[in-house]
Amino acid sequence: MVKVKVFYTGPLKKLIGKTREEVNFNGETISELLREISKNHGETISKQLIDYSTGSLNEYVAILLNGQNVKHLQELKTRIRDGDEIIFLPVVAGGT
Amino acid sequence: MEHLHLSQGSYWILKRVIKLRIKPRICLECPECGSLIEEAPLAVCNECWGPLQVKQDYEAVKDSLKKREIKNREQSLWRYLELLPIKESRFIVNLGDGWTPLTRCQRLEKELGVRELYIKNDALNPTGSFKDRPASVGVSKALEFGFNVVGCASTGNLAAATAAHAAKAGVKSFVLIPGNIEPNKVVQSAAYGAKILQVEGTYDAANRLGILASEIFNWALLNINLRPFYVEGSKTLAYEICEQLDWNTPDRVIIPMGSGALLNSFYRGLADLEKIDFIDNSKDVKITGAQPKGCSPIVDAFHTNNRISPVKEPKTICKSLAIGEPASGKQAIKVIRETGGYADAPSDEEIIEAEKILASREGIFAEPAGAITLATLIRLIDNGVVEEDEKIVLLVTGSGFKSLEAAQKTVGKPVKIPANIDALREAVENG
């Protein structure tokens, strides 16, 4: 059993109705964490976060694991440890 | 109820006033899933997380806006008020933004062998970059929404533009910048009175902190929760170029890309003009994107046909374009393909050389992120992508004063001489 701190922003905050919670689950990857959150708060969450045509994370979503973007790690297969902090963010950048 | 009787002249004047004061409904739409929502300080679609954009009632704009009226209006981007997402003109914050020169570059035409070459010199905006356009619209919209604190995450130019417009509006500003931007940009923003928050790490780290800040504080972060409105300001580049070409379009426009937002806004600006019957060929303009080789996720995805793969640590002299995770990259690739454009990524060396060429041949001193468009054009000519008879516009988006350390690498040192005529003669004769 792994216990992690999860922060929700953007559409997830609206869907789940809170900005943070602790999640206890049997698993060790981001993918398994998403499954647990969907189980707790509804399947819409997985549908929004995963691009089922490619099996990858929705390109407009960033997940930070202890401050690191999981897209620079192993994306959905990135391993999670007890006590980790996970933040869900939209990809929004004005830029040029 | 008593009827109001008006003469023909009074009726006409009242009709004009009504048209100018009452803006048609503005809403937000998601280009990914088509969702429509009421306008709000919100950047992301609640259904699919796609980037929301402003949707205007173009039929109403078509009725109220005529080319001959625009011609006599003030020389700023606000000459296109009907096309901008502000409902009440009393909220407009204008430093004289936009309406920058479109300069014909005859020396470069000869040197490069192209028929017509123009530079849209946005380095001449009030704070020295094109970012005054989105900042003017963004800060105005923030005031219209009732915010009294504005801010942004920035690679430097937006920070200065936001701070300057906040100063003019008399509201507080916070800017989040990465650790490695040019010192002049930091000083400039601070001079306007912004609170500068220099975040350890890259722009992407500063940007993510900005997203969290927008959830916690009641701030209007121009390129985060106000992003759909902010990007509308950049559309005025397309409006101005077409107007400056007597409502004609160029064959190709080369645009710097960081997140891809400017390129998309430019294309949407052309589309606006077509919707209101000002031009009839928006898709004939080959939209061409330029990213530095050290941070080119959009260009790479364009050439490999793969999804955009974020760059973890951008390494380029073009600090304004060092955005590793480009939020508008997917749309930018779509625009480039739809218009038959191209995407290329010159090296820092090529960009520095282009900066020198631009200054020494045309008298335009650009920052590397602006000179990248010339570096890209040179590559496209060498590779046979650009045809000789094209009419080309390069967007020069920022001033060289912003990034003096780049220019210092290419210029010679001053010749020091004693203050007498013999020394002067000797120095001149020795070349």
Q: Count CB neighbours of B63 within 10 A.
A: 13
Which one of B176, B200, B208 would you mutate to disrupt binding with A, by most A Cβ within 10 Å of its Cβ?
Answer: B208
Q: Which amino acid is at B156?
A: G
Least Cα separation, residue A89 to chain B (angstroms): 7
A18 neighbourhood in chain B, CB within 8 Å: none
Closest Cβ–Cβ partner in B32, B158, B307 for A94:
B158
Asked, for residue B117, whether it belongs to a domain, the answer is yes
CATH number of the domain where residue B213 is located: 3.40.50.1100
Lowest mean pLDDT, pick from B115-129, B360-374, B410-424? B410-424
B48 neighbourhood in chain A, CB within 8 Å: 48, 58, 60
Q: What separation in angstroms does the CA of B252 have from each of B133, B151, B238, B355, B373?
A: 22, 34, 12, 20, 12
Mean pLDDT of all residues in A67-80? 93
Identify the sign of the CA torsion B365, B366, B371, B377. negative
**Contacts with B, A 11-70, CB within 8 Å:** 11, 13-15, 19, 48, 54, 56, 58-62, 64, 69
Asked, for residue B264, whether it belongs to a domain, the answer is yes
Lowest mean pLDDT, pick from B5-19, B48-62, B73-87? B5-19
Q: Are residues B141 and B186 in the same domain?
A: yes
Contact flag B48-A92 (C-beta cutoff 8 Å): no
Mean pLDDT of all residues in A48-75? 91
Contact flag A96-B262 (C-beta cutoff 8 Å): yes
Quote the domain boundaries for residue B312. 102-128+232-408
Q: How confident is the model at residue B23 (pLDDT cuts 50, 70, 90)?
A: low
Asked, for residue B345, whether it belongs to a domain, the answer is yes
A94 pLDDT exceeds 80? no
Q: Are residues B298 and B399 in the same domain?
A: yes
B7 pLDDT exceeds 90? no
SS (H, E, C) chain A: CEEEEEEECHHHHHHHCCCEEEEEECCCEHHHHHHHHHHHHCCHHHHHHEECCCCEECCCEEEEECCEEHHHCCHHHCECCCCCEEEEEECCCCCC
Contact flag B152-A14 (C-beta cutoff 8 Å): no
| Residue reference for tokens 């006590």 | A83
Helix (H, G, I), strand (E, B) or coil at B377: helix
Which one of A12, A14, A96 would you mutate to disrupt binding with B, by most B Cβ within 10 Å of its Cβ?
Answer: A96
Name the residue in chain B with its Cα closest to that of A71.
B310
pLDDT recorded at residue B203 = 87
Q: Give pLDDT tens digits for B342-353.
A: 999 999 999 999
CATH superfamily of A2-90: Beta-grasp domain (3.10.20.30)
The pair of three-digit structure tokens given for residue A70, joined into one six-digit string? 């999981």
B102 pLDDT exceeds 50? yes
Cα A13 to the chain's mean position, in Å?
12
Q: How confident is the model at residue B11 (pLDDT cuts 50, 70, 90)?
A: very low
Q: How far apart are the first and last CA of chain A?
A: 44
Give the β-pairing of B53-55 and B27-29: antiparallel
Helix (H) or strand (E) holding B99: none
Contact flag B48-A58 (C-beta cutoff 8 Å): yes
| Residue reference for tokens 């045509």 | A53
Name the residue in chain B with its Cα closest to that of A69.
B312
Instruction: State the helix-helix crossing angle for B183-191 and B157-169, rounded to 10 degrees.
Output: 10
Mean pLDDT of all residues in B265-288? 96
Q: Are residues B195 and B283 in the same domain?
A: no
pLDDT recorded at residue A57 = 93
Which one of A9, A53, A72, A92 would you mutate to disrupt binding with B, by most B Cβ within 10 Å of its Cβ?
Answer: A92
Check residues B20 and B167 and name the one with the higher pLDDT: B167
Calculate what percentage of chain B has a pLDDT beyond 90: 82
Contact flag B308-A59 (C-beta cutoff 8 Å): yes
Closest Cβ–Cβ partner in A13, A72, A96 for B259:
A96
Q: Are residues B242 and B223 in the same domain?
A: no
| DSSP state for residue B398 in the 8-state scheme | B
Lowest mean pLDDT, pick from B7-21, B98-112, B205-219, B308-322? B7-21
* A94 in Cβ contact with B53 (< 8 Å): no
Q: Are residues B257 and B401 in the same domain?
A: yes
Mean pLDDT of all residues in B292-306? 97
Interface check for B44 against chain A (CB to CB < 8 A): the answer is yes
Mean pLDDT of all residues in B414-425? 95
Sheet holding B116-121, edge to edge: B102-104, B116-121, B391-396, B252-256, B286-290, B343-344
B65 pLDDT exceeds 70? yes
Cα A25 to the chain's mean position, in Å?
14
Q: Are residues B174 and B57 in the same domain?
A: no
Interface check for A93 against chain B (CB to CB < 8 A): the answer is yes
Interface check for B321 against chain A (CB to CB < 8 A): the answer is yes
Q: Smallest Cα–Cα separation from B273: which of B234, B305, B236?
A: B236
Q: Which residues, at least 6 apart from A53, have a Cβ–Cβ distance to it below 8 Å? A: none
Q: What separation in angstroms does the CA of A7 have from each of A4, A22, A30, A69?
A: 10, 9, 14, 14
Q: Are residues B328 and B209 in the same domain?
A: no
Q: How confident is the model at residue B386 (pLDDT cuts 50, 70, 90)?
A: very high
Q: Count CB neighbours of B259 within 10 A.
A: 30
Contact flag B152-A72 (C-beta cutoff 8 Å): no
* B64 in Cβ contact with B23 (< 8 Å): no
| Residue reference for tokens 């899933």 | B33
Helix (H, G, I), strand (E, B) or coil at B51: strand
Closest Cβ–Cβ partner in A13, A48, A59 for B307:
A59
Q: Give pLDDT tens digits for B325-343.
A: 898 899 999 999 999 999 9
Interface check for B134 against chain A (CB to CB < 8 A): the answer is yes
Q: Are residues B243 and B329 in the same domain?
A: yes
Q: Are residues B195 and B120 in the same domain?
A: no
Give the residue extent of every domain in chain A. 2-90
Closest Cβ–Cβ partner in A19, A90, A93 for B259:
A93
Sheet holding B27-29, edge to edge: B36-38, B27-29, B53-55
Q: How confident is the model at residue B155 (pLDDT cuts 50, 70, 90)?
A: confident
Asked, for residue B364, whether it belongs to a domain, the answer is yes
Contact flag B49-A60 (C-beta cutoff 8 Å): yes
Least Cα separation, residue A85 to chain B (angstroms): 14
Q: Are residues B246 and B163 in the same domain?
A: no
Does the ipTM exceed 0.90?
yes
pLDDT recorded at residue B411 = 85
B14 pLDDT exceeds 70? no
Q: Are residues B197 and B260 in the same domain?
A: no
Name the residue in chain A with its Cα closest to that of B325.
A91
Cα B308 to the chain's mean position, in Å?
22
Q: How far is the C-alpha of B48 from the C-alpha of A44, rounded, in Å?
A: 10
Q: Are residues B283 and B303 in the same domain?
A: yes
B249 pLDDT exceeds 50? yes
Q: How far is the C-alpha of A82 from the C-alpha of A74, rounded, in Å?
A: 18
Number of domains present in the structure of chain B:
3
Mean pLDDT of all residues in A34-58? 92
Q: How far is the C-alpha of A61 from the C-alpha of A67, rounded, in Å?
A: 14
Q: Give pLDDT tens digits for A17-30.
A: 999 999 999 999 99
